[in-house]
Amino acid sequence: MRKSKSLSALIFFAIGLFLLGLSNFVDELRAYQGAQVGIYVIAISSIILLTGFSGQISLGHGALMAIGGYSAVLSYNHWHFPMLLAFTFGAAVAALAGFILGMAAARLSGPYLAGTTLALAVGLPSLANQFHILGGEQGLSFDIGEAPKWIADKTGGDFTQYKWFFWISVTCTLFTMWFIKNLLQSRFGRTWRAVRGNPSAAALSGINIGRSKVLAFTVSSALAGLAGALLAMILGLVAPMAFTLTLSFTLVTGAVLAGVSNLGGSIIGALVLVVIPEITDAVATHLGGSEKISANLPGLITSVLLILTVIFAPNGPQLHKRNKSGKAKTQ
């Protein structure tokens, strides 16, 4: 087990070095999009952990991202936390919110739980407008500044802020994926699978169902809060318009595209969500730059992809291996 964890950590470290080195050979736009992909991977992974492995449905992860984003920005701007500590604080506050929500979630299931989290996603942006400290509709600016001088010196003089965003996002994403992978292989992951598969049997075997659900919701919320803090970083602000209900639905779509129990598929889901605006811009430009197309086409593409995925690949991307009889076996 220890050798497996060490090998896993080494692989993630090697991937990180490759991606960070790759950032020196891409332009500003691709670096920004790479940071977006990393953030979506974290957010989608948080839903996969909650839904795919714990069996709980959330339509309000955009609101949990908002909690993490606002908390990180407030701690950075007003309390002058260091950047890393501000991100950690944002994740911790979102985890606390998830714990409170999870206490209610432990007593709910199916559409009732989905409705509760949906209400959170609808109400939180309006609530944020009521408090002056949160900046109202304009939100709060968030400028982490340029990269440390020693990083810029070692990577060349053209190490821009977008590349700095990319470095931060990639590092957080790889650490998050490594953390989730090991967590799911631990007794907590096995407990969540048991609760999802057969709650009655799990309870009879001595598992505390309520405690298991609360823990899953808390961990998932912490990851969503981290994603929200990173999103605020690349946007340069945190505001209600950045964490709308659409964001929550988009993340759920990404999780379905990935396969709700496929952690590795979160990368595919994130890539699709980042590519959709590119397709929209290309189509809008081809049709004369129509604003209506730019505003409505992303939602249409996302909806069509969601429907097609549910019909043709409800379990997301699958790996196939041959068994001894020569037939394909889905993992």
The tens digit of pLDDT for each residue in 316-325 reads 565 444 444 4
The tens digit of pLDDT for each residue in 243-299 reads 988 889 889 989 998 888 888 889 999 999 999 888 888 877 777 766 777 777 777
The tens digit of pLDDT for each residue in 53-106 reads 988 888 889 999 999 999 999 999 999 999 999 999 999 999 999 999 888 777
The tens digit of pLDDT for each residue in 160-215 reads 889 999 999 999 999 999 999 999 999 999 999 998 888 889 898 889 988 999 99
Distance between CA 126 and CA 244 in Å, rounded? 10
pLDDT computed for residue 325 by the predictor: 44
pLDDT computed for residue 328 by the predictor: 45
Residue 116: pLDDT band by 50, 70, 90 thresholds? Answer: confident
More confident of the two residues 30 and 313: 30
Q: Is residue 215 helix, strand or coil? A: helix
**Whether the model pTM is above 0.85:** yes
Residue range 147-158: mean pLDDT, rounded: 74
pLDDT computed for residue 107 by the predictor: 75
Residue 237 bridge partners (DSSP):
141
Distance between CA 131 and CA 115 in Å, rounded? 25
pLDDT computed for residue 154 by the predictor: 73
Domain ranges of the chain: 2-245
CB 142 within 8 A of CB 76: yes
Distance between CA 208 and CA 288 in Å, rounded? 59
Distance between CA 26 and CA 162 in Å, rounded? 11
- Only one residue has tokens 């989608």, namely 44
